[in-house]
Amino acid sequence: MAKRVLRFIRYRFLLFAGLLPYCLGASIAYHGVSVFNLNLFLTGLVGIFFALIGVEAFNEYFDWILGSDRVFQLDPKPVTKKKFHIGVAAFAAALLFAVYLTLQVGIGIAIFAVLGFIAAAGYLGPPLRFTYRGLGEIVIALSYGPDMVLGSYYLQAGHISIIPVVVSVIPAIFLFLIAIINEVPDFLQDRLVGKKNICVRNGRERTVAIYGLMSVVLYIALALIVFAGLLPTAGLFILLTLPFMWRNYFVAKAKLDAPQDMLGAIRGTLIVYIISMGILIVSYLKK
């Protein structure tokens, strides 16, 4: 039962929480240049939603095809070609929205959309298969950080500025942390199917250590961004989540010998991410 809940959280989470960096980019534009076009925002939101559906469908399909969803399962439920077709249809729908927004705003939207599609389709899909080349976590961080935040900001402001570039580091690190902590329970099966993610290359113990180190980097980066005047001081409320992030680290460390019981650390990281992104978004909405 716990394994099914874990799988649900890990796959469905990005479908919804992936929209938070998009909202952050729009809130930064509103704060910085006093611009917010509701029609563009909602159109982009629907387009991103379709893209995230495509990501989920492609990941489930290619995980099945490449074998990682079948390792250690006596009677796995097959993922059919239908899932792949759903992904293609979702990406096609996202493309239509991207074309419309490009015509409305400018070529920058097309660039962000293309970069996002390459990351999404190539994460597990051939021929790129980023996660099998040791690039999966970086691709996730860049996609949900700079690409999502800057794309949303550009959609509203029509240009790029230093503030969204720097602030996008926060969701990028968060998604990096979420990615690597999710790899720990799948260490053995990922290694058997040839993935070269951080956990496979470094082992469970070092991966959890990297999680702890990058958590420290996250909060230091947050403080520096606030003190540089690029983030409203209300953003410092995120520091209140530090004890909970530390708890996640110690839970993960304690469960190294029973990675299937790491649900608490994974769920805790997701909760801190959602709360922190909410604080960031609200802090920029306040004039």
pLDDT tens-digit profile of 163-173? 999 999 999 99
Q: Across residues 42-66, what is the average pLDDT?
A: 85
The full length of the chain comes to: 287
Average pLDDT, the chain: 86
Range of the domain at 269: 2-285
User: pTM of the full predicted structure?
Assistant: 0.88
Q: How many domains, in total, are found in the chain? A: 1
Banded model confidence at residue 27, pLDDT cuts 50, 70, 90: very high
Nearest CA-CA partner of 37 in 123, 155, 146: 155
Instruction: Give 63-98 pLDDT, tens digit per residue.
Output: 777 665 554 454 556 677 888 888 889 999 999 999
Over the range 4-15, which residues count as b (16 or more CB within 10 Å of their CB) and which as e? eebeeebeebbe
- Could you tell me the CA-to-CA distances from 200 to 188, 194, 277 in Å, in that order? 8, 9, 29
Residue 27 and residue 153 in contact, taking contact as beta carbons nearer than 8 Å:
no
- In the 8-state DSSP scheme, what is residue 146? I
- In the 8-state DSSP scheme, what is residue 77? P
Compute, in degrees rounded to 10, the torsion defined by CA atoms 6, 119, 76, 203.
-60
Q: Indicate which CATH number applies to the domain containing 269.
A: 1.10.600
Banded model confidence at residue 9, pLDDT cuts 50, 70, 90: very low
